[in-house]
Amino acid sequence: MGLKRTAILLSCIIAAPAFGQSTPAPPAQTLIKNVTVFDGVQKQIDRSVLIEGSKIIDVNYRGKILPSMRIVDGRGKTLLPGLIDSHVHAYAGQDDALLFGVTTQLDMFSPPESTRAVRTRMARGDNRAMSDIFTAGFLATVPKGHGTEYGLPVPTLTKPEEADAWVAARLAEGSDYIKIVNEPGTIIGRAVPTLDAPTIRALVAAAHQRSKLAVVHAQTLATATESINAGADGLVHLFADQDGGAAFAKLAKNKGAFIVPTYAVLEVFSGRSGTATLLDHPALSGLLPKPAIDTVRQSFGADRSTKLDGIEAANLAALVKAGVPILAGTDAGNPGTWYGLSLHREMDLLVKGGLSPVQALSAATAAPAKAFRLTDRGRIATGFKADMMLVEGDPTRAIADVHNIVEIWKDGAPVSPLRAARRAALAKQAVAVALPPVALPADRRIAQFSTVQGKAVAKSPFGAGWDVSTDSIVGGNSTLALSIGDQAPNGQTALVLTGEIKPGYLAPWAGIAFYPADQQFRPANLGSAKALRFWARGEGKAFAVMGFSPSGGQRPSISPITVGKEWAEITLRFAQLANFDSSNTQMLLIGAIQQDGPFRLEIADVRLVDQ
């Protein structure tokens, strides 16, 4: 499915988690007593599972209970392996998935930079506060093909001869497997350039030569069949254009392929926001900030899901009957989905589509671990990672019981402190005392540009004022210099921003930022203003206004602006900045973003206006 370009930019400019938390080291030993265990494949009754440090050391402990052990009463509860989401786009929500029991995410397209910090922590064995992430990195597509529309510099290819070098480059960047796009645009009703079958076969062969899996994005029966015949190890969507019947299921089985249905995102694009039905579940509520909740509530048009449900049920029945592995994946990162929460919806939907609860649970635990060769997780078994989830009830009988989370363990450490901290932080935000409105100057101008001792200076009538802001604060290479220019048509002095957007950070930027409170990034109430208005002219590839407020979850709201060579007055309404709350403004920024290259931007007469 297609990601939202703006969402990627918002999330990638500030890559740090919205709620930074850490977990203490796990207790020396934890014993979950008298618990029903679903081990990833089958249910086992009245077990006592012992974990030590980050590992499961006994799945049926009958030894002496030591005073040093942390004891967890498992009566009436079921212990499961940590959940694995087999299809996400991990450019956002990296600190959310674990709160819902998803201890591993399989990323199907994100720039390598977006997952590097998590993977560094994984390598040193210090990633207890987030789910682990394995990644495809960049996907394989053609110029202007699916995956290139999000404003990111995606490396492309067009012919089989380029496949070997393309795959080698991805593995050098750290990709764990290869994701290939076979998307001619049939589903969206317009032609889209895509890879041809020989190039897909060459990519699969190049991955296999390096002992890596190759999975394919295909959304029709025709492209799914072509991809399986090209040697794909799996499909990361289940087509929904028609019933593939026993013939396709037999093909997938004979070729040894697995299928990730991503039912949770398909229903969204069929007009049903199913994940939203879980937002008020007592064990799942209170864990997501408003921007995530708004994303979950999105859907597209009238509800057309009845047709989808019929096709998915028929396809799933044929695949399960043929013995094709089904993996639970959500395509989180798309509208109507969110990391962690949507995997709960996916399991519900798999059962709705005809899988038994046991099959659905296995699709989210042991099946993806086996398919993606993750040999240390996905099972409750001796020597495996102590990534587990304890729920009230028995989800092997009623899948809805999987939502009744009692505790989660990541690398042996309980996650309940993270869940409690998140709920407390969000509750505190909800009851925060309203800030008094800032008294704006009569002329509404918030900048006066001049030269002081040979340097360009931007003064403001209130707040911490103006300052240069570039991606250098997060390790980027973009540059910016300030000077004083000519006057705008209304006689106001212009500030000239000259610089270059350079590669080196996922979502580069360079601009001039206004901080309305007495300290940078402290919020101030600009609610009496409805828009930012200023004169601008310049040359460059992409310019935008950004707004920061706590409601954005520490991610900027961005609205592109059109700047030409001639002066023009620009009015940017705050309503155009998604998830931005002007009554809690931390920063407003005007500058260049995303597209590499030099730029020159002149701005003048910057005002906060009420219309």
Tens of pLDDT, residues 196-216: 999 999 999 999 999 999 999
The whole-number pLDDT of residue 14 equals 42
Distance of CA 126 to the CA centre of its chain: 21
The whole-number pLDDT of residue 11 equals 47
Q: What are phi and psi of 436, to 5 degrees?
A: -65, 145
Coil, helix or strand for 223? Answer: helix
Cβ(32)–Cβ(72) below 8 Å: yes
Coarse DSSP helix, strand, coil percentages of the chain, rounded to the nearest 5 percent = 25, 30, 45
Cβ(119)–Cβ(94) below 8 Å: no
Question: Looking at per-residue confidence, does 298 or 54 come out higher?
Answer: 54
* Separation between Cα atoms, residue 229 and residue 258, nearest integer Å: 13
* Separation between Cα atoms, residue 282 and residue 278, nearest integer Å: 9
* Separation between Cα atoms, residue 496 and residue 182, nearest integer Å: 45
Lowest mean pLDDT among 290-299, 313-322, 425-434, 566-575: 425-434
Cβ(345)–Cβ(273) below 8 Å: no
**Distant-in-sequence, close-in-space partners of 594: CB < 8 Å, separation ≥ 6:** 9, 151, 501, 507, 508, 509, 541, 542
Helix H or strand E encompassing 58: strand 55-58
- Reported as a single tens digit per residue, the pLDDT across 137-165 is 999 999 999 998 876 789 999 999 999 99
pLDDT at 553 over 90: no
Structure-block tokens of residue 176: 């764990």
Bridge partners of 592, per DSSP, are 510, 543
Coil, helix or strand for 524? Answer: strand
- Eight-class DSSP state of 437: B
Cβ(262)–Cβ(363) below 8 Å: no
* Separation between Cα atoms, residue 363 and residue 358, nearest integer Å: 9
The whole-number pLDDT of residue 429 equals 78
The whole-number pLDDT of residue 16 equals 45
Mean pLDDT in residue range 179-189: 90
Tokens 């009754």, residue located: 45
* 3-class secondary structure per residue, 381-404: CCCCECCEEEEECCCCCCHHHHHC
Structure-block tokens of residue 61: 């402990």
Closest C-alpha to 176, from 254, 233, 256, 101: 233
The whole-number pLDDT of residue 190 equals 83
Burial of 520 (0-12, 13-18, 19+ CB in 10 A): middle
Burial of 117 (0-12, 13-18, 19+ CB in 10 A): middle
**Cα separation values, 192 from 60, 95, 111, 261, 513, Å:** 55, 34, 22, 22, 39
* Separation between Cα atoms, residue 592 and residue 498, nearest integer Å: 10
The whole-number pLDDT of residue 20 equals 57
Cβ(16)–Cβ(95) below 8 Å: no
Mean pLDDT in residue range 298-313: 92
420 pLDDT tier (thresholds 50, 70, 90): very high
The whole-number pLDDT of residue 579 equals 79
* Separation between Cα atoms, residue 128 and residue 369, nearest integer Å: 19
pLDDT at 41 over 80: yes
Q: Count of CB atoms within 10 A of residue 354's CB?
A: 18
The whole-number pLDDT of residue 291 equals 84
**Cα separation values, 591 from 217, 342, 410, 448, 544, Å:** 36, 35, 41, 17, 6
pLDDT at 5 over 80: no
Cβ(215)–Cβ(234) below 8 Å: yes
The whole-number pLDDT of residue 15 equals 42
* pLDDT > 70 fraction of the chain, expressed in percent and rounded: 94
Helix H or strand E encompassing 572: strand 568-573
pLDDT at 433 over 80: no
Spell out where 488-542 has E strands: 493-501, 509-515, 531-539
The whole-number pLDDT of residue 9 equals 44
Domains of the chain: residue spans and CATH: 26-427 (3.20.20.140), 448-609 (2.60.120.430)
pLDDT at 368 over 70: yes
* pTM for this model (two decimals): 0.83
Mean pLDDT in residue range 578-598: 91
Distance of CA 32 to the CA centre of its chain: 32
The whole-number pLDDT of residue 6 equals 41
* Separation between Cα atoms, residue 47 and residue 550, nearest integer Å: 45
The whole-number pLDDT of residue 554 equals 57
Mean pLDDT in residue range 558-573: 96
